[in-house]
């Protein structure tokens, strides 16, 4: 499938996955991929303190947009921030520090479950409608919360009958239900429990929130080495490693790769969505070079996708 078309499928893409699967890394890689395809990207960090800016070698994010890379901007938009901004826009002239710290806002948010989530999504809708970028990427809360995050709008429509918050919720439901405007990209690693939980999350999101699901990103796939086997090879000369060690190490990689393939097959069977695989990186910690490698893999994965039928 064409890279530019893929990235332009939905204006808002929500990246979700359980803790530890590399959701933030995948968000960064997807942003770089989209920027390469010529799109302007805005990443919205919902949880704060995610290490996203660090991937790009930039200082931590703030409520104001910052450029992480040519074509890629980012900002935070935490539920607390969204709540304060919303209340200030709706008649609470200025929420003093004292009030904000008094916990009164917490009470308001708790009184209407999902309110903060809806305000975050409402703000995202504002960004999308206002053309803030060709692609708005949301680095969503970890899996369990992602589901409630997306379900919150419908839940609220049941609980709140009137008022501006209800209007917000309605608009958010509209945004989420339209695949041209929004889709969710789930991230996992090829291991048993994460795959099980991803499948559950996928069904919960599709059934409960009515949001379209994009391809699943399977992160951390061990790349194959051409010709690797676990047979002992007679080493050539005074080698740097003995036969037993070489064989043991080969065994580790081959077994791991086999287990991962098994989980990817299982995922495909349980959830009929295309998969994009990203490689496990053996070399140093995540930095710009690694991000480019992941973006390359992402682009290759997209190219391998079947084009959407007419």
Partner 1 sequence: MSDEPKPGRTRPSIASVVAGHRVVVCCGTGGVGKTTSAAALAIQGARGGRRTVVVTIDPAKRLAQALGLDDLSNTAHEIERARWDPDSSAVPGGALFALMLDAKSTFDTLVRQYAHDDAQAQRILDNAFYRNIAGSLSGTQEYMATEKLYELHATERFDLIVVDTPPTRHALDFLDAPKRLTRLLDNRIFRLLMTPARAGFRVGSMAAQTFLRAVARVVGTEVIDDVLAFFRAFEGMEEGFRTRANEMMQLLASTETAFVLVTSPRRDAVEEAAFFAARLAEGDFAVKGLVVNRVHPRYPCALPDVLRAHAEALLAGDQERRGTRALAAQYTNLADLEELAMREERALHGLEERIGPAAIAHVPELAHDVHDFTALRAVAAHLT
For residue 142, which of 173, 177, 186, 199 has the smallest C-alpha distance? 186
Distances (CA, A) of 259 to 147, 204, 254: 28, 26, 9
Q: Which residue has the tokens 């080493």?
A: 235
In the range 35-64, which residues lie near partner 1 by CB under 8 A?
A: 47, 49-51
Does residue 158 interact with partner 1 by CB under 8 A? no
Number of residues counted as binding partner 1 (CB under 8 A): 70
Token pair of 212, please? 């379209």
In the complex, the smallest distance separating the C-beta of residue 42 from partner 1, rounded to whole angstroms, is 22
In the range 5-24, which residues lie near partner 1 by CB under 8 A?
A: 18-21
In the complex, the smallest distance separating the C-beta of residue 164 from partner 1, rounded to whole angstroms, is 6
Planar angle of CA 102, 108, 110, nearest 5 degrees: 105
Distances (CA, A) of 81 to 77, 190, 254: 6, 35, 47
Kindly tell me which residue out of 2, 67, 174, 255 binds partner 1, with binding defined by CB under 8 A.
255
**Which of 4, 80 has the CB closer to partner 1?**
80
Single out the segment in contact with partner 1 by CB under 8 A; choices: 66-74, 173-181, 253-261, 300-308: 253-261
What is the rounded distance in angstroms from the CA atom of residue 143 to the CA atom of residue 90? 31
What is the rounded distance in angstroms from the CA atom of residue 292 to the CA atom of residue 95? 42
What is the rounded distance in angstroms from the CA atom of residue 294 to the CA atom of residue 26? 8
In Å, how far from its chain's centre is CA 81? Answer: 20
Does residue 191 interact with partner 1 by CB under 8 A? yes
Does residue 245 interact with partner 1 by CB under 8 A? yes
Kindly tell me which residue out of 92, 204, 268, 273 binds partner 1, with binding defined by CB under 8 A.
92
Kindly tell me which residue out of 67, 174, 192, 292 binds partner 1, with binding defined by CB under 8 A.
192
Token pair of 105, please? 């806002």
In the complex, the smallest distance separating the C-beta of residue 295 from partner 1, rounded to whole angstroms, is 19
Kindly tell me which residue out of 239, 261, 289, 304 binds partner 1, with binding defined by CB under 8 A.
239
What is the rounded distance in angstroms from the CA atom of residue 41 to the CA atom of residue 294? 17
Does residue 279 interact with partner 1 by CB under 8 A? no
What is the rounded distance in angstroms from the CA atom of residue 204 to the CA atom of residue 276? 21
Single out the segment in contact with partner 1 by CB under 8 A; choices: 130-138, 174-182, 280-288, 290-298: 280-288
Does residue 179 interact with partner 1 by CB under 8 A? no
Distances (CA, A) of 256 to 187, 247, 264: 19, 14, 12
Kindly tell me which residue out of 97, 207, 241, 307 binds partner 1, with binding defined by CB under 8 A.
241
Distances (CA, A) of 29 to 37, 213, 266: 13, 18, 25
Site string for partner 1, 196-235 (x = CB under 8 A): xx---------------------------xxxxx-x-xxx
Please report how many Cα atoms fall inside a 13 Å half-sphere around the Cα of residue 74, on the Cβ side: 31
Does residue 309 interact with partner 1 by CB under 8 A? no
- Write out the residues near partner 1 by the rule CB under 8 A: 18-21, 47, 49-51, 86-87, 90-92, 99, 102-104, 106-108, 110-115, 142, 144, 148, 159-166, 191-193, 196-197, 225-229, 231, 233-236, 239-242, 245-247, 249-250, 252-253, 255, 259, 282-286
């Amino acid at each position: 499938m064409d890279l530019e078309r893929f990235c332009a499928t939905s204006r808002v893409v929500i990246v979700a996955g359980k803790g530890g699967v590399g959701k933030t890394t995948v968000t960064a890689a997807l942003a770089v991929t989209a920027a390469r395809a010529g799109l302007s990207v805005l990443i919205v960090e919902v949880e704060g303190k995610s290490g996203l800016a660090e991937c790009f070698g930039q200082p931590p994010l703030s409520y104001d947009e910052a450029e992480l890379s040519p074509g890629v901007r980012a900002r935070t938009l935490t539920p607390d921030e969204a709540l304060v901004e919303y209340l200030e826009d709706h008649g609470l002239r200025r929420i003093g520090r004292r009030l904000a710290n008094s916990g009164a806002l917490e009470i308001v948010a708790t009184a209407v479950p999902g309110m903060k989530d809806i305000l975050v999504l409402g703000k995202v809708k504002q960004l999308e409608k206002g053309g803030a970028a060709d692609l708005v990427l949301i680095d969503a809360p970890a899996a369990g919360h992602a589901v409630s995050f997306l379900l919150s709008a419908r839940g609220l429509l049941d609980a709140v009958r009137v008022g501006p918050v209800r209007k917000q919720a309605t608009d958010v439901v509209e945004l989420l239900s339209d695949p041209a405007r929004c889709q969710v990209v789930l991230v996992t690693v090829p291991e048993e429990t994460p795959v099980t939980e991803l499948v559950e999350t996928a069904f919960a999101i599709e059934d409960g929130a009515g949001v379209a699901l994009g391809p699943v990103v399977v992160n951390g796939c061990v790349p194959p080495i051409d010709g690797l086997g676990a047979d002992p090879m007679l080493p050539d000369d005074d080698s740097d490693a003995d036969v037993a060690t070489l064989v043991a190490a080969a065994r580790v990689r081959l077994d791991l790769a086999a287990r991962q393939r098994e989980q990817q097959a299982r995922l495909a069977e349980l959830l009929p969505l295309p998969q994009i695989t990203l490689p496990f990186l053996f070399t140093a910690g995540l930095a710009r070079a690694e991000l480019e490698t992941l973006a390359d893999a992402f682009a290759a994965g997209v190219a391998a996708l079947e084009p959407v039928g007419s």
